[in-house]
Amino acid sequence: GAGVSQTPSNKVTEKGKYVELRCDPISGHTALYWYRQSLGQGPEFLIYFQGTGAADDSGLPNDRFFAVRPEGSVSTLKIQRTERGDSAVYLCASSLKHGPTEAFFGQGTRLTVV
């Protein structure tokens, strides 16, 4: 596609439920990033993929958070047993693998846990 696409744009879920957030990167971009942005804060790094593998998952806050990218394109961020503190905008970005290239961001998914 023309840009990074994230779905859904908004998600409201009840505390304790499971949610999946999807990211469709720019075609040909092998690097994919997930961030979490709370109100008034900068993007907090969660996980970074090179191709199908997680090159760095040190930002995942706990084992309730998991992300996959099975075919090296679309990625899904999965959150189990959601808590109210998980409420934030989840951002996805993609970039070319090599070099100091910019990352292109999607519009984000606003997750609200009630």
Partner 1 sequence: GDSVTQMEGPVTLSEEAFLTINCTYTATGYPSLFWYVQYPGEGLQLLLKATKADDKGSNKGFEATYRKETTSFHLEKGSVQVSDSAVYFCALKTGANNLFFGTGTRLTVIP
Applying CB under 8 A, does 107 fall inside the site for partner 1? yes
Q: Which of 30, 17, 20 is nearest to 90 (CA)?
A: 20
Applying CB under 8 A, does 93 fall inside the site for partner 1? yes
Residue 36's CB is within 10 A of a number of other CB atoms, namely 22
Site for partner 1 in 9-68 (CB under 8 A): 31, 33, 35, 40-45, 48, 50, 55-56
For residue 18, CA distances in Å to 8, 47, 57, 82, 106 come to 14, 19, 20, 6, 22
Applying CB under 8 A, does 1 fall inside the site for partner 1? no
Residues that bind partner 1 (CB under 8 A): 31, 33, 35, 40-45, 48, 50, 55-56, 91, 93, 95, 97-98, 100, 102-108
